[in-house]
Every structure is written in structure tokens, then in C-alpha cells.
Amino acid sequence: MLLEISKLTKTFGGLTAVNQFEMTVEEGNIVGLIGPNGAGKTTIFNLVTGVIRPDSGTIVFDDKNITGKSPHSIAAWGIGRTFQLTPLFADFTTLENVSASAYLHSRSNFWRTLFNTQAYCRNEAHALEKSNQILDLVGLSEVKNELAKNLPHGYQKMLGMARALAVQPKLLMLDEPLGGMNASEITFTMEIMKKMRQEGMTILVIEHNMQILDLCDHVVAINFGQKICDGCVADVTHHPEVIKAYLGE
């Protein structure tokens, strides 16, 4: 298992946002995390990526206990993520966004950078080439010199994904990657996700758009911070608790 979450609990004041939550993510799979608004999906993402610390429970990633570790350490261990509201480096160009996100792989220390050594130039050229490849993959090459804040919403979402890919993660966590996208953008994004799975990437995805289920190998449904059920797509979508959570009694 690449990711194992067990008995994860997080409370905010009197509200239990995540309650004894358990799930696993197998390597090479696309796993969907679904649930109605306020179910605690993004909180689980934030707990896994270290943005907030859990009250109890453990998160094991790639055989390492990452519970309560800082976000930058978790990123360094191989978890890349996107955000629901697409925060980006708004004043950077598209290319700079990806290039800055390749921080972990720039491999130049302070002095090499300061003295602009050959090794630094080589590393930077490599990082730039890698960033351009990622932009090619997500179809943003044509707008690579545009400021991120001037891009349309769908492009910004794709840039968020490109940014996460620049981390070269083992596990990619996507928070509503299809939110606010038009039909062709959705198809394109799903194609990219499929391609990434073929290349061996593991993806954990939160999404309200049920089209995403076509891609998922495994789905976990959550409501009120607790897991309702998990399994293959057909099992979960026909589960009475899931139907109740989405449509009511």
C-alpha cells in the first residue's frame, strides 16, 4: 500500500470534521474520495499533506509515518497536491509557476546559485526543460509566458495540476480537478489522468463530478467525517448509504 490512513480524527471546536477515518491507496491506482459538501474530504487532504495536524490516528505513506509532519517534508517524501480554489503563484507566468514548483529537484545549493556556476546553469536548464515537458503534457505550452492570474479558470486548474506534477510525486492528490471546467476541458483532464496512471502514477482524487468515477479503480465514500463504504465504483454508487447521503431519505 502506498498510503494507509487509520483511525484519523480531527475536531474543530465542537465539530468533528473527520472521525475515525480509515482508507488505503494502492500503488498505481486512481482512487476517488467522494461525499457531499462538508463531508470532510478536503480536511482529509489537508491532514494527509500536513496543512493541519490530526488529533489522533496515523497516516503512513510509502512505509513512513507522516502523521503531523510539515507540508514541505511531506512534499519532499513524494506527495504532490492541488487545491480546490486553485491558489497559484498569481504574479508568476505559467512557466515560472511550474519552474518554481520544481524547487525540490533544482539540486543547487546557495553558493552554486549565487555564483551562477556551470552546475547551477545545467540544473536550471534541466528544470526548465522538465517544466516545459509538463506544460506540454497539460496543454499549456501556448500560454507559458502569460501571467497565471490572467489565465481562464480551466487553464488555472490545469496549471495547478502542472504545479503538482513538477514536484514529481509518487502520489498525486487532486482536489476537485474538474470543478468549473467545460466539457472539453473535463475530457482533456481525464485523458491526462489516464495517461499518468499508465505511466505508473498513483492518484487520489476528490470530485463532485461523477464522470470521474469512470477513471477510478477504487472509491471511498464519506459523510460527516466518517467512511460510509468503499470498494469498486459499482458497489459504492449503489450503496444505500451513499444514495441516502446524496439524495436524502
Partner 1 sequence: MLKNRFLADKRKITKAAIYAFLLIILLLLPKLGISIYYVHILIGVFLYIIMTSSLRLINLSGQVSLGHAGLMCVGAYTSAIISKNLDWTPWLTIPIGALVTFIIAFLVAIPFSRLRGLYFTMVSLFFGMAVLAINEVFEKITGGQSGMVGIQRLFGVSKIPYYYFCLALMIVCLFIMHRLEFSRIGLTWKAVAQSHSVASSTGINEARQRIICFAIGGFFAGLVGAVYAHYYVVLSVTTFGFFTSIYIFIYMMVGGINSFYGPIIGTTVLLLIQPLFHNVIREKYIPFIFAGVLLIVLYLLPKGLFGLPEQLRLWTRKLRREEKTALQEEVIHRAPRN
Which positions touch partner 1 (CB under 8 A)? 49-51, 70-72, 75-76, 80-81, 83, 87-92, 96, 99-104, 106, 108, 110, 113-114, 116, 120, 124, 127, 163-164, 166-167
Whichever of 49 and 189 has its CB closer to partner 1, that residue is 49
Least gap, CB of 77 to partner 1 (angstroms): 9
Whichever of 21 and 89 has its CB closer to partner 1, that residue is 89
Least gap, CB of 226 to partner 1 (angstroms): 26
Whichever of 12 and 103 has its CB closer to partner 1, that residue is 103
Whichever of 104 and 186 has its CB closer to partner 1, that residue is 104
Least gap, CB of 233 to partner 1 (angstroms): 28
Count other C-beta atoms under 10 Å from residue 195's C-beta. 11
Least gap, CB of 87 to partner 1 (angstroms): 5
Write out the DSSP string of the chain. --EEEEEEEEEETTEEEEEEEEEEE-TT-EEEEE-STTSSHHHHHHHHTTSS--SEEEEEETTEE-TT--HHHHHHHTEEE--TT----TTSBHHHHHHHHGGGG----HHHHHTT-HHHHHHHHHHHHHHHHHHHHTT-GGGTTSBGGGS-HHHHHHHHHHHHHHT--SEEEEESTTTT--HHHHHHHHHHHHHHHHTT-EEEEE-SSGGGGGT-SEEEEEETTEEEEEESHHHHHT-HHHHHHHH--
Least gap, CB of 112 to partner 1 (angstroms): 10
Whichever of 69 and 194 has its CB closer to partner 1, that residue is 69
Least gap, CB of 105 to partner 1 (angstroms): 9
Whichever of 45 and 223 has its CB closer to partner 1, that residue is 45
